[in-house]
Amino acid sequence: MPATLHSFHSMTVTTRIPIFTLTITLLCTHAPFSMGQSKDPLDQSKENMRLWLETSQKRQAEENAWKNDQEILTNYKEGLLAEKAAYLKQIEEAKQRAQAADQQSTDKISQRDQLIAAEKALASHLRGLEEEFVKQVPALPAPLIKMSKMAVGIETLKKNLALPADQQTDDVGKRSANLTEMIAEVEKFQQNVTVSNELHKNAAGQEFNMQVVYLGMAAAYAVNEDASFALIGSPQSGGWKFTERNEIAADIKKLIVTATTEKDISFTPLPVPTP
């Protein structure tokens, strides 16, 4: 109920009590006065009855009005209590939502922290793999290192490792993809026979253009054009080591023909290089 209506009803209840008192006072005052004039007793009785009825009606009206006001106030109170209960329920629901939101926020923060910790652990492990891979690069065959994917990957890896761990420019995903791609190229080379042209020197320092057959990364056999100079190679920690073996030059020539064409498919026995 609005404040003005509440004030109006309060005023009504308050002002009705003096009216009721004034009516009774007038009745009592009028009675002796009438008796003092020695009216007819019957008329006096009628007058008293009339006054009594008038007073009773006013009193009844006041009581009815008071009951109406009481009922209105009671309903208004009940409405306020219901509204209060609704507000309290909304507040409780809001608290529950806030608690749920706080829990979700806490869970997300926890998940974020776990992801950050996992990424740091992965980055640390990945850096160890990268450092180990760089150590093995000298042991890779020259034609493998010269391949475009390997050349770019190795260059990127070396530049990244030259920086402190917290200053590496590429993220973990890119670094992992780069390392994985290079390992895939190494595995592909390992499973194939590769023939390449390379320059090698003999014991006298004379340089020759030679064809080199790589059997994966296990061994390599090289021979010059006229089969006068031959080498056998094996991977070492510091790079590939080639040893002069001119006596097998003709056999290496046959191996190259077998490796590069399908015309002469034959078995060619060759010595296995020792580490």
The answer to whether residue 109 is domain-embedded is no
In which residue are the tokens 């009028």 written? 30
Residue ending a domain, among 129, 155, 187, is 187
Where in the sequence is the domain holding 244, given as residue range(s)? 195-260
Which of 200, 239, 195, 201 has the alpha carbon at shortest distance from 220?
Answer: 195
- Residue 128 placed within a domain: no
The span from the CA of 7 to the CA of 42, in Å, is 46
Q: Is residue 216 part of a domain?
A: yes
87 shares a domain with 33: yes
**Is the pLDDT assigned to residue 9 strictly greater than 60?**
no
Q: Which residues contact 180 (CB under 8 A, 6 or more apart)?
A: none
> Is the per-residue pLDDT at 233 higher than 50?
yes
How confident is the model over 216-224, as a mean pLDDT?
93
User: Could you tell me the pTM of the whole model?
Assistant: 0.57
pLDDT digits (tens, 9 = 90+) for 13-63: 444 444 444 444 444 444 444 444 556 888 888 888 888 988 988 889 888
Could you tell me how far CA 52 lies from the centroid of its own chain?
87
Is 113 part of any domain? no
Please report whether residue 35 resides in a domain. yes
Phi/psi at 171 (5° precision) = -80, 175
Shared-domain flag, residues 79 and 150: no
More confident residue, 105 or 223: 223
Q: How many domains does the chain have?
A: 3
In the predicted model, what is the mean pLDDT of residues 184-212? 93
**Predicted pLDDT at 13:** 41
Are residue 91 and residue 170 in the same domain, yes or no? Answer: no
Q: Which of 35, 67, 96 is the last residue of a domain?
A: 96
Together in a domain, 199 and 150: no
Q: For residue 39, give both structure tokens.
A: 């009216």
Rounded CA gap, 58 and 21, in Å? Answer: 11
Which pLDDT score, from 0 to 100, does residue 69 have? Answer: 87
Amino acid at residue number 180? T
Selection from 182, 271, 183, 259 nearest residue 230 by Cα: 271
Residue 222 lies inside a defined structural domain of this protein:
yes
- pLDDT band at 241; cut points 50, 70, 90: very high
| pLDDT tens-place string over residues 261-275 | 866 667 778 888 876
Of the given ranges (18-27, 181-190, 195-204, 217-226), which has the lowest mean pLDDT? 18-27
Rg (the chain; Cα; Å): 56
